[in-house]
Amino acid sequence: MEFNPSLPIYLQVITMIQREIVLGILPMGARMPSVRELAIQYTINPNTASRVYKELENEGICFTKRGMGTFVTENGARVQQLKTEMAQELIHQFLDGMQQLGISEEEAIQMLKKENHIFKGGNVC
C-alpha cells in the first residue's frame, strides 16, 4: 500500500473505505474493521485509523456502538448520496481540469472515448 505523500493519509483511507461502502463490499449495517484491524490492513498508525472513523462518522457514513465496534450506516439514501457525491466530484474535477487546459467538453469526451489515451493536442496558442 502506497500513499500519496502530498495528501494526508487519513483522507486517502477515507476515500478507499467510502468506495468499499459504495460498492457494497462493506454492506449497510455491516461491522467495519476495528481501529486496530484497520491500522494493520492499511499499515497506518492506530491514531490515523481512529481519525478515519471519526471523520466518516461525522459525515454520517458510519456509527459506533459502544463496546461493539463501528458499523456502516443503515441509511440507504445516505449511501446512495455518497455515491452520487463521489461521482459528481470526479466529473467536476475532470471537466474543470480539462477546461483549464483549454480543452472543450466535447474534445474531453472524445479523448475519454478513445481508451488508447493518445492525445494529439492542437492549440498551444
Long-range contacts of 34-37 (CB under 8 A, 24+ apart): 34/69, 34/70, 35/70
Q: Which neighbouring-strand residues pair with 107?
A: none
For residue 95, the partner it binds in DNA, its own copies, none, with Cβ less than 5 to 8 A by kind, is its own copies
Residues 30-69 that bind its own copies (CB under 8 A): 45, 58, 64, 66-67
32 binds, among DNA, its own copies, none (CB under 5 to 8 A by kind): DNA
From the CB of 106, what's the least distance to its own copies, in Å? Answer: 5
Q: How far apart are CA 48 and CA 43, in angstroms?
A: 10
Q: How far is the CB of 119 from DNA (least distance, A)?
A: 28
46 touches 39 (CB < 8 A): yes
Binding site for DNA (CB under 7 A): 5-6, 8-11, 32-37, 43-48, 50-51, 53-54, 57, 64-70
Distance CA 105, CA 90 (A): 14
Which value, to the nearest 10 degrees, does the dihedral of the CA atoms of residues 40, 44, 45, 47 take?
Answer: -100
Among residues 9, 38, 56, 72, the one that binds its own copies under rule CB under 8 A: 9
29 binds, among DNA, its own copies, none (CB under 5 to 8 A by kind): none
